[in-house]
Amino acid sequence: MRPWGRWSPLRAVAAVLGTAFALSSVGSATAQSAKPIKIGLGMALTGGLSANGKPALLAMQIWRDDINKRGGLLDRPVELIYYDDQTNPATVPGIYTKLLDVDQVNFVVSGYGTNLIAPLLPIVMERKLTLMGVLGLANNEKYKYPNYFQIQPSGPDPEANWAMGFFEIAGKLNPRPQTIALVGADAEYPRHAIDGARELVKTFGFKTVYDKSYPPSTVDYTPIARAIKAANPDIVFVASYPPDSVGMVRAAREVGLQPKLFGGGMVGLQYTSVMTSMGPMLNGIVNYDFWAPERTMMFPGIEEFFKEYQARAEKAGVDPLGYYLPPYAYAAVQILGRAIEATKSLDQQTVADYIRKTEFRTIVGKVKFGPNGEWAKSRVLMIQYQNIEGRLVEQFKGPGRKVVLYPEEFKSGNLIYPYSAAQR
C-alpha cells in the first residue's frame, strides 16, 4: 500500500470523482447510439410508496410490451428506462437529469405521487418538456405549466373535487346528517384532503364537532376513535395513508364508533392486501376509489389489461388485482403513446398541444385534460364496501363488493345506510 503522505487527499478525491464520472460517461455513449424511443421515469420501488410504485411500473411495462408487439411507435421500439426514486423527493432531480442528459430519453413520465412529481416539475419547465404525471394532487396549482398532464381523475379543482362525492352522498341522505368529524394525518395528502373537506363542510352546511389531526407515526388509534365517538358525529370523514387507514378502521370497530357515514379519503383500503386482511370490517365504509369491477366501469381494453396484469403480478410480487393505480399508470403512457403516434412527432410542444386538445379513449375511460393539466371533469369515485364475507381475494374480482355510488353516470348500486346496517 502506498504511504499516505505521497497519496494526497485531493488526488484521492479527484480519482474517485473522476472514476464515477467516467463510468457514467460510458452509459451516456451507449445511450446515444440506441434507436428505440426512450421513455424515462423514476418510480418508488423502495420506500413508503413502493407497494404502489411497483405495480405502476409493471403496468407501464405491459404497455411497452403491448406497443412493441404492435410494431412500436413510429416504427421504432419503445424502451422504458427507470430508476428507483426510493420514495424520496431529494433523489428526483438527479434521476431525471440523468435520464434526460445521460440516457437521453425522448419523454419523461413522473413517478407515483404528489411528493415525487413536485421536484420534477421545475426540471421539465426549464427544458419545456411534456410531462405525464401519475397520481399527483394539485401539483400544478402554483406553476400553471401548460405541458403538464396528470392522470388521476381529481378534476379541475383537485383539493375541493377530491371529497365532493362523499359530501354529495351525505347531503342527499334522509334523514339528513347534521354533524361531522374531520380527522386526518399530519402528512401531505391528508392535509390537502382535509382542507378540501373543510370547504365542503361549509358548502353543505354541516356542523363540525371534531376537527383534529394526528402524527403519521401514530400506532394506536383507539384514543382518536374514542374522542370522535365522544363527539357523537353523524358523519366521520377520514383522510389517511395506508397504515393509519387500517388503524382507524380497526380502532373504530373496537370502540364501537358507529356514525351514519364513515370513510371519505382513506388511502390503502383499495389495496388487495388490505381488502383481504380487513375482510368484512370494510362493510359499510364509503371511500374514494378510482376503479371497481362493476359493470359501469368496464371500459374498452381494461379487462384485457387486468388479465395480463394479474398473470404477471404474482411473478413480480406486486398487488395481485391491481385495481387502484395500475390502470391509470397504463393510461398515462397510453395517452403519451397515442399523442406521439397521432402527431408522428417526438417534438415536446407538438405532443403537448395534441394531448391538450384531444379527448382520449383509454382503458380508464375517456380522458380530456383541462387548462391546469388535471382532468377537465372530476371522476373520483365514491364506493361502498358491501357484502364482503371472509377474506378470500376471489370475491373482490366480481361486482357487488365495491359498489359505485358516485358519480351518477357510473353508479352501480345503492348506499346501504346507515353505516351500521351494512355491517350486519
Partner 1 sequence: MVRTGGGLLVSLAVIVGGILLASLRVNLYFYFAGYVVLQYVVVATAWNILGGYAGYVNFGTSAFFALGAYTAIFLIEAFRAPLPVLILAGGLVSGLLGLGIGYLTLRLKGVFFSIATLALSVVLQTLIMNWDYVGGAKGVTVIRPGSPLFGNWVRLLFTVMVGLAVAAVTVAWIIERSWVGRGLRALRDSEEAAECMGVPTLRLKLFATTISGFLLGVAGAPFPYYVTYVEPSSAFNLDYAVNALAMPMIGGTTTWIGPVIGAVLLGTAQQVATVTISSELNLLIVGVVLVAFVVLAPEGIVGLVRRPRGR
Give the number of other CB atoms < 10 A from CB of residue 315: 8
219 touching partner 1, by CB under 8 A: no
The residue range among 9-17, 231-239, 340-348, 395-403 that interacts with partner 1, by the rule CB under 8 A, is: 9-17
The phi-psi region of residue 104 (left if phi > 0; otherwise alpha if psi is between -120 and 50; otherwise beta) is left
Q: Site for partner 1 (CB under 8 A): which residue of 185, 200, 278, 388?
A: 185
Which of 248, 364 has the CB closer to partner 1? Answer: 248
392 touching partner 1, by CB under 8 A: no
Of 123-142, binders to partner 1 (CB under 8 A) are: 142
24 touching partner 1, by CB under 8 A: yes
Q: Site for partner 1 (CB under 8 A): which residue of 6, 9, 205, 314?
A: 9
Q: What is the DSSP letter of 294?
A: S
Q: Site for partner 1 (CB under 8 A): which residue of 72, 77, 93, 280?
A: 93
17 touching partner 1, by CB under 8 A: yes
Task: Give the sign of the dihedral formed by CA 63, CA 68, CA 72, CA 78.
Answer: positive
Question: In 3D, which of 151, 142, 78 has the Cα closest to residue 110?
Answer: 151
Report the nearest approach of partner 1 to the CB of residue 249 (Å). 22
30 touching partner 1, by CB under 8 A: no
Please, what is the end-to-end C-alpha distance for the chain in angstroms?
76
Main-chain dihedrals φ then ψ at residue 132, nearest 5 degrees: -95, 120
Which of 97, 232 has the CB closer to partner 1? Answer: 97
118 touching partner 1, by CB under 8 A: yes
190 touching partner 1, by CB under 8 A: yes
> Which residues face 286 on adjacent strands?
263, 384
267 touching partner 1, by CB under 8 A: no
Which of 52, 412 has the CB closer to partner 1? Answer: 52
Q: Going by DSSP bridges, is the β-strand pair 107-112/37-43 parallel, antiparallel, or unpaired?
A: parallel
Which of 12, 311 has the CB closer to partner 1? Answer: 12
161 touching partner 1, by CB under 8 A: no
Sorted by sequence, the CB contacts under 8 Å of residue 236 that are 6+ apart come out as 180, 181, 183, 228, 252, 257, 259, 261, 262, 263, 264
Which of 140, 386 has the CB closer to partner 1? Answer: 140
- % helix, strand, coil for the chain, step of 5: 45, 20, 35
CA dist 216 → 226, 240, 318 (Å)? 18, 9, 24
340 touching partner 1, by CB under 8 A: no
- Please write down the HEC assignment for all residues of 350-384: HHHHHHHHCEEEECCEEEEECCCCCECCCCCEEEE
The residue range among 2-10, 145-153, 226-234, 367-375 that interacts with partner 1, by the rule CB under 8 A, is: 2-10
User: Which residue type does 355 have?
Assistant: I
Provide the binding-site residues for partner 1, judged by CB under 8 A.
1, 3-4, 7, 9-10, 12-13, 16-17, 20-21, 23-24, 27-28, 45-46, 83-86, 88-95, 97-98, 101-102, 115, 118-119, 121-122, 142-143, 185-188, 190-192, 213, 215-217
